[in-house]
């Protein structure tokens, strides 16, 4: 079996992009006429690294990293929630806030998510990332390793469609009119998919480099695609 010395580095970037995107997701940003969570600036990068993992190392390795990302995110959420519950020191201030109480309120607004949002986020992440990896692996075998751009963009379109749909509907159904929800989900899906397409040259460079230095180009011809399986 190949040594895969660069695999931990790719996995680290994957997990880091996931954690950072969840922290900054509370802010809405204006991109032209669109209003999107700030996470759209970095969350699609996790899909790019997911594509790289699957393309070079195979579905089983990507699946393991996806689950590692899930548990790292779960740990971060638990620690954030615990830190919000800790009583603030009387001398503590954040920026221009004049008291510990107002600082605590601002801190909680950023780091304390509702259970509904968390469940929607976790389910959307797992479904989207695992489906993205599955589709790419199957397409690689079907195309005999040709047309990398078709696999990365095609798998992202499928994965991001499921991710955006699950998150928006589970997180906000009943609080926002359904037509508005569908519009938000479609906007996020199209934006994230376009993001993937625009960085395709970077994906090619990364994939070709890793295949060369790792001496690996895995084809999932005999892979068990059970998403709950940990070992290959």
Question: Pairing relation of β-strands 34-37 and 28-31?
Answer: antiparallel
pLDDT at 1: 47
Cα separation values, 69 from 2, 63, 74, 96, 169, Å:
23, 10, 8, 35, 23
Structure tokens that stand for 230 in this block: 């940990």
Mean per-residue pLDDT of the chain: 88
Please report which confidence band the pLDDT of residue 167 belongs to, taking 50, 70 and 90 as the band edges.
confident
Of 122, 127, 90, residue with least CA distance to 228 = 127
Residues 12-29, mean pLDDT to the nearest whole number? 84
pLDDT at 2: 57
E strand intervals along the chain: 28-31, 34-37
**pLDDT tens digits, residue range 178-226?**
888 888 888 888 888 898 899 999 999 999 999 999 999 999 999 999 9
Of 223, 192, 222, 229, residue with least CA distance to 67 = 229
Q: What are the structural domains of the chain?
A: 7-214 (1.10.1760)
Structure tokens that stand for 72 in this block: 């790292």
Give pairs for 115-123: CB < 8 Å, separation 24+: 116/170, 116/171, 117/171, 118/77, 119/170, 120/166, 120/167, 120/170, 120/171, 121/22, 121/167, 121/171, 122/70, 122/73, 122/74, 123/166, 123/167, 123/170
**pLDDT tens digits, residue range 52-111?**
999 999 999 999 999 999 999 999 888 988 998 999 999 988 888 889 999 998 888 888
- Lowest-confidence region among 21-25, 89-93, 150-154, 179-183: 21-25
Interatomic CA distance for residues 216 and 181, integer angstroms? 42
Of 42, 66, 41, 62, residue with least CA distance to 53 = 62
What is the percentage of the chain residues whose pLDDT exceeds 90?
51
pLDDT at 11: 94
């Amino acid at each position: 079996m190949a040594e895969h010395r660069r695999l931990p580095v790719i996995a680290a970037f994957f997990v880091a992009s996931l954690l950072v995107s969840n922290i900054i997701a509370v802010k809405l940003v204006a991109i032209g006429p669109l209003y999107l969570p700030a996470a759209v600036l970095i969350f699609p990068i996790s899909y790019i690294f997911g594509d790289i993992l699957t393309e070079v190392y195979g579905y089983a390795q990507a699946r393991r990293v996806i689950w590692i990302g899930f548990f790292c995110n779960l740990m971060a959420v638990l620690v954030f929630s615990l830190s919000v519950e800790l009583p603030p020191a009387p001398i503590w201030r954040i920026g221009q806030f004049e008291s510990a109480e107002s600082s605590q309120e601002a801190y909680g607004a950023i780091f304390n998510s509702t259970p509904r949002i968390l469940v929607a986020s976790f389910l959307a992440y797992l479904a989207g990332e695992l489906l993205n990896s599955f589709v790419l692996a199957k397409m690689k075998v079907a195309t005999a390793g040709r047309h990398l751009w078709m696999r990365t963009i095609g798998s992202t379109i499928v994965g991001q469609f499921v991710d955006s749909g699950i998150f928006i509907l589970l997180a906000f159904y009943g609080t926002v009119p359904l037509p508005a929800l569908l519009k938000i989900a479609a906007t996020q899906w199209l934006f994230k998919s376009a993001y993937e397409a625009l960085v395709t040259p970077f994906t090619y460079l990364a994939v070709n480099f890793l295949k060369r230095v790792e001496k690996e180009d895995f084809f999932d011809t005999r892979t068990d695609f059970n998403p709950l399986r940990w070992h290959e």
